[in-house]
Amino acid sequence: MRVHSTPYQVDGEVGRFTFTTHGIGTAGTEPLHHLTGREFFPPLQGRQWYQTRGFKELALVHGVVEDSYRKTSELINRVRHQPEATPARRLCDTSEQEGQKILSYLEDRAAQVLAAHEVSAEGTPPEVLVGLSGSRADTLAEAKVQAAIAQGDLAPELKREMAANPVPYETPAHQVYVAVDLVGVNQQKEHRSPASTTHSPTAKKAHTYTTIAQVRNDDCS
C-alpha cells in the first residue's frame, strides 16, 4: 500500500480541503493499482476539484443566478473563512458545465418523448395519425396543398416553408376547433358586513377563476 502523490481535492460548502488517497504497488516508479481516489470517490482529471452537492447549491442556486461570479466568489470564500479559495473563473466554468448537462438532459428527454410517440427527431409524426377515438385524421392531398400555397398572396420564403411543413394539413371541413379561456371575476362575499358599506380604494379584492372550453367542428357545434 502506497500513498498517491496527488491528494484528492474537494470544494465543498464547508471549505476547500484535500486528503490523501492510496493505491497498491511496490516501491519505486511502478504505477499504483486499485486507487482509492478512483474506486471509492468520483475520478478527477488533472487539477480538477470535486464539487459537493451543497457547494453547487450555494454557488449556483443561491449564487451566480442572482449575482456576478466575482461577488459570489467573494461571499463564498468569506463565509468559509478561506480568502481567494474558489476563484470567480472556477464558478464560471462550473456554471457552463452544469448548463451543458441540463441541455444534454433536455435533448435526451425530448428524444425519448418523440420516440415514445413514434415522432421523428425533425418533428414528423407517424404516417397514419390516430386520434383518441381510434379514427384516422382526414388530411388534404398533397396536390391540393401545393395548389393552395401557390394561389396564396404570400412571400416566397413563406411559401417554401409551408410547402416543406412536415405535419400533414388536415381537411378544413373535418377540423375540430378547441378554445380554452380562463375567466376571472370578483368573488362575492357570503355575508356583507355593515362596516364595509364604504368602499376603500386600497382594499384588495378577492377573485375567483373558472375555465371555459369550447369544442366544435363543421358537422356540429
Give per-residue pLDDT as tens, 79-110.
Answer: 999 988 999 999 999 999 999 999 999 999 98
pTM of the model: 0.49
pLDDT for position 194? 60
| CB neighbour list of residue 200: distance below 8 Å, 6 or more residues apart | none
Pairing of strands 15-19, 8-12: antiparallel
pLDDT for position 109? 92
| CB neighbour list of residue 118: distance below 8 Å, 6 or more residues apart | 125, 126
How many Cα atoms within 13 Å fall on the side-chain side of residue 213?
A: 4
Q: What are phi and psi of 87, to 5 degrees?
A: -75, 160
Average pLDDT of span 151-155: 87
pLDDT for position 132? 46
- What is the DSSP code (8-state) at residue 57? I
- 28: confidence class by pLDDT, cuts 50, 70, 90: low
What's the CA gap between 94 and 169, in Å, rounded?
46
Distances 203 to 189, 193, 196, 200, 206 between C-alpha atoms, Å: 14, 14, 10, 5, 10
On the question of pLDDT at 138 being above 80, the answer is no
- What is the DSSP code (8-state) at residue 115? H
Dihedral (Cα; 110, 114, 120, 124), 10-degree rounding: -110
Average predicted confidence (pLDDT) for the chain: 81
Average pLDDT of span 5-26: 88
- Locate 126 and state its grid cell: 407517424
Cβ(23)–Cβ(30) under 8 Å?
A: no
- 139: confidence class by pLDDT, cuts 50, 70, 90: confident
Average pLDDT of span 40-69: 89
What's the gap between Cα 66 and its chain centre?
18
